[in-house]
Amino acid sequence: MRLNVYLQKAGAGSRREAERLVADGRVSVNGIKATPIMPVEEGDTVLIDGRPVAPETKPLPRLFLLNKPVDVLVTHRDHKNRKTIFDLPALNPPQWTSRHPRVMNVGRLDVNSEGLLVLSSDGPLAQAMMNPDNALSRLYRVRVRGQLNPAGIEAIAQGIAIDGVDYRGAEFVEEYGQDGRANRWYRCVLTEGKNREIRKLFGHFGCVVNRLVRLQYGPFTLGGIEPGEIREAPSSQVKALMDELAKKGAKL
């Protein structure tokens, strides 16, 4: 395989980051200074800064759980200079980079949504978590103006097309004890997570979402994490998730 792919599989970072390591002269293959497209075969010795690396010795990826506040974008940069998650004190260098790896977001929450956002140090793991074929469930608590009737809830459960977009079946359950209120709370479980999916599903039935909080993504829960706070997921949970994804055929 190509060296940049090998280095990515060995946990050196993205392919672009691997290519930078090679360009900086920090990588050798069998004692020879490496080039970006140099092939690597089984049994070859690959060193970064004199340290051997291989896919089978790749360190366990790290996952972090952030309670995203409202009015914060999930992106590295915004051309309008609006606040992003990487402007939050918990993720703002140098405090973050001095102790933690570079991370990427697993999926998104729109600017008006809040709650659990998972961040990954590993690209393939992030992609596997987002892949709808792996059907990781996402649990949300949603406040809406209006009310879904039983037929609407059943239609959502069976899967529905809106404006030419097919939405996989999802579970929407109204919370009890809300009689007479204009705003109602629902528990919503998705396994696909298309762009603004919950808002579009409610809007299709005449309801307006005015608060959306993600409580869970796969095995990870928001728990007592405060808005703007971040915690690292236990390595045992990460390993269990990777084993589950591997059984589903994910390439990690």
Q: Tell me the domains of the chain and their CATH numbers.
A: 3-56 (3.10.290.10), 63-133+219-247 (3.30.70.580), 137-217 (3.30.2350.10)
Does residue 250 carry a pLDDT above 60?
Answer: yes
Task: At 242, give phi and psi (nearest 5°).
Answer: -65, -40
Q: H/E/C letters for each residue in 12-36?
A: CCCHHHHHHHHHCCCEEECCEECCC
Residue 67 in contact with residue 229, Cβ under 8 Å?
yes
Tens of pLDDT, residue by residue over 146-186, are 999 999 999 999 999 999 999 999 999 999 877 677 899 99
Bridge partners (DSSP) listed for residue 183: 145
Q: In the predicted model, is pLDDT for residue 203 greater than 80?
A: yes
Please identify every residue annotated as catalytic.
110
DSSP 122: -
Inform me whether the pLDDT recorded for 60 exceeds 80. yes
CB 213 within 8 A of CB 113: yes
pLDDT at position 98 is 57
- Is beta strand 63-68 parallel, antiparallel or unpaired with respect to 46-48? unpaired
Cβ-contact 236, 229 below 8 angstroms: no
- Can you tell me the distance from the alpha carbon of 153 to that of 28, in angstroms, rounded to the nearest whole number? 59
Q: Which two tokens stand for residue 156?
A: 């959502």
**How far apart are alpha carbons 223 and 63 in whole angstroms?**
15
Is pTM beyond 0.85? Reply is no
The per-residue pLDDT for 93 is 67
pLDDT band at 53 (very low <50, low <70, confident <90, very high): confident
Confidence of residue 76 (pLDDT cuts 50, 70, 90): confident
Residues 210-226 as b or e (16 or more Cβ within 10 Å = b)? eebbbbbbbebebeeee
